[in-house]
Amino acid sequence: MADSRSQPVSQSQASSAGDQPRKRLWRPFITVLFTMFPVVAAMLVYQLDSFDPASLPIHELGQAPVVVSLRNERMLQGAELLGAGELQGPEDIAYDSTANVVFTGCHDGWIKRVRLNDSVVENFVNTHGRPLGLALGHNKEIIVADAYKGLLNISKDGEVELLTDEADGHKFKLTDGVDIADNGMIYFTDASYKYNLNEDIWDILEGKPHGRFMSFDPVTRKTDVLVSHLYFANGVAVSPNQDHAIFCETVMRRCRKYYTKGSKQGDLEKFIDYLPGFPDNIKYDGDGHYWIALPSANSVPLDIAFRYPFIRKVMAIVMKYIGRLPTEKDAGVLVVDLEGKPVAHYHDHRLSMITSGMKIGNRLYCGSVRHPHILKLDLAKENLWLSSTITTQ
Ligand SMILES: *[C@@H]1O[C@H](CO)[C@@H](O)[C@H](O)[C@H]1NC(C)=O
Ligand SMILES: *[C@@H]1O[C@H](CO)[C@@H](O)[C@H](O)[C@H]1NC(C)=O
């Protein structure tokens, strides 16, 4: 009886005791499966994704950024917003001293004219593309590096003429920097012949040199590729002595010097390496200094990403499935002398995407590919020590 009574109990005990080890066996397996699933899925996505970032020449990236002794780390303090709300992403700035106006290219295709005497903003011409780099020509025309259209000439009467949009069988996809020499030669860059402006982040993550530095001769109308295989070729500035041009190579955080004349004609040299951020436009101020806009500072995560292609691939996948990575911060402008020696650095951790810095008199005008205004700083103000420091050097 005791047995028969205990029988069902022990049976149930037996059955539950028999299940228990099986459950115990399964539990870690299920746990592993659940934790591994995202990893396996991520690995699959990683394997199947065709995006194939390359190694950068990392020995050229340097370890630490250049040291700049003079810094203003709060450049937003005291800054005015010029054309607020009337300018959408005024990327670059060209100055016409006779009319005392600056021209700037906006996201909506408009090249706007901003009067410096009263800050009035006027529409000039719409390129129906995306005007980026601007330079004032000898006939008061504006030469435009339009990301989508190529190199344009906009006469002072507002007529638009395409100068060039392809070289060596590669159409430009992201024309972005330009300057004009005294002899009329135009020097400009195309950041990439593979990705356009909307896709620029892919070019940066891919880490392959699709950029070119070129010249356009307005007399022969010939386009020449002067330097190819550049990692996101960007802003251009012709040197005051006219024998070379400086151009920025964003991904490599450097500017390079290309001789356009003289015994060194055709030589490519280092101008400045290991910049504290990623350079965009570069402007000569007529007074012994170049002003290099840095839309984003370098950071440890970015530095690591540029060193390891697999990290850039993971970033690309994250971007595809999740969204844009918040990477830009602490933008500013680096001032260097004619030899590329850093003199001063204006920046602010609250700033992002400053894409040009132009010194006019004692004022600094900063364009931005993203913000709805031009930043205007009075360099003579006491907390912006630079004007005295620079002019006395
Ligand atoms: C600024 O200059 C423009 C054109 O030269 C002129 O029409 C305008 O009256 C000036 N504004 C002021 C406030 O001086
Ligand atoms: C731009 O066009 C204007 C008007 O046709 C012309 O005077 C000027 O020389 C042109 N500039 C270049 C660089 O082609």
Q: Where are the domains of the chain?
A: 1-50, 80-392
How far, in Å, are 1, 14, 103 from residue 9 at the CA level?
Answer: 13, 8, 91
Cα 121 to ligand 1 centroid, rounded to whole Å = 12
pLDDT of residue 173: 97
pLDDT of residue 172: 98
Cα 104 to ligand 1 centroid, rounded to whole Å = 19
CA distance 273 to 231: 13
152 pLDDT higher than 60 = yes
The values of phi and psi at residue 249, to 5°, are -120, 95
pLDDT of residue 388: 44
User: Which of the two residues, 289 and 50, has the higher pLDDT score?
Assistant: 289
CA distance 307 to 309: 7
3 pLDDT higher than 60 = no
Q: What percent of the chain has pLDDT over 90?
A: 66
328 pLDDT higher than 80 = no
From the CA of 119, the nearest ligand is: 1
Q: Ligand 1 in contact with 115 (CB < 6 A)?
A: yes
Q: If pLDDT is split at 50, 70 and 90, which confidence band does 58 have?
A: confident
Q: If pLDDT is split at 50, 70 and 90, which confidence band does 18 have?
A: low
Going by CA atoms, what residue is nearest to atom 6 of ligand 2?
A: 155
Lowest mean pLDDT, pick from 96-110, 258-272, 293-307, 363-377:
293-307
CA distance 354 to 356: 6
**Across 152-161, average pLDDT:** 98
Give Cα 356 to chain centroid, integer Å: 10
Q: If pLDDT is split at 50, 70 and 90, which confidence band does 319 have?
A: confident
Q: If pLDDT is split at 50, 70 and 90, which confidence band does 12 have?
A: very low
Best mutation site among 125, 140, 141, 186 for ligand 2 pocket (most ligand atoms within 8 Å of CB): 141
Q: Where are the beta strands (DSSP E) in 250-393?
A: 254-259, 268-272, 277-278, 282-284, 289-294, 296-297, 332-337, 342-347, 354-360, 363-368, 374-378
Residues making up the chain, counted from first to last: 393
Cα 99 to ligand 1 centroid, rounded to whole Å = 10
Neighbours of 41 (CB within 10 A): 10
Which of 197, 183, 67, 72 minimizes the C-alpha distance to 127? 197
Cα 118 to ligand 1 centroid, rounded to whole Å = 6
Q: If pLDDT is split at 50, 70 and 90, which confidence band does 23 have?
A: low
57 pLDDT higher than 80 = yes
**Three-class secondary structure of residue 93 per DSSP:** strand
User: Which of the two residues, 46 and 79, has the higher pLDDT score?
Assistant: 79
Q: If pLDDT is split at 50, 70 and 90, which confidence band does 216 have?
A: very high
Query: Which token pair is 174?
Result: 């992201």
- What's the 3-state SS for 9-36? HHHHHHHHHHHHHHHHHHHHHHHHHHHH
pLDDT of residue 290: 97
Cα 155 to ligand 2 centroid, rounded to whole Å = 6
Cα 229 to ligand 1 centroid, rounded to whole Å = 47
**Across 225-244, average pLDDT:** 98
326 pLDDT higher than 90 = no
Half-sphere exposure of 2 (CA within 13 A, CB side): 0
Q: Ligand 1 in contact with 96 (CB < 6 A)?
A: no
CA distance 334 to 342: 7
Cα 180 to ligand 2 centroid, rounded to whole Å = 12
pLDDT of residue 20: 64
Query: Which token pair is 203?
Result: 């070019």
Going by CA atoms, what residue is nearest to atom 9 of ligand 1?
A: 118
Q: Ligand 1 in contact with 98 (CB < 6 A)?
A: no
Q: If pLDDT is split at 50, 70 and 90, which confidence band does 145 have?
A: very high
CB-based contact 385:70 (threshold 8 Å): yes
pLDDT of residue 19: 58
Which CATH code fits 80-392?
2.120.10.30
Going by CA atoms, what residue is nearest to atom 5 of ligand 1?
A: 99
The per-residue DSSP string of 222-265 comes to EEEEEEEEESSEEEEEE-TTSSEEEEEEGGGTEEEEEE-SSTTT
CA distance 93 to 107: 14
Helix 300-307 to helix 309-321 angle (10° resolution) is 110
pLDDT of residue 13: 46
**Across 147-154, average pLDDT:** 98
> Going edge to edge, which strands form the sheet with 354-360?
80-82, 374-378, 363-368, 354-360
Q: If pLDDT is split at 50, 70 and 90, which confidence band does 5 have?
A: very low
Q: Ligand 2 in contact with 126 (CB < 6 A)?
A: no
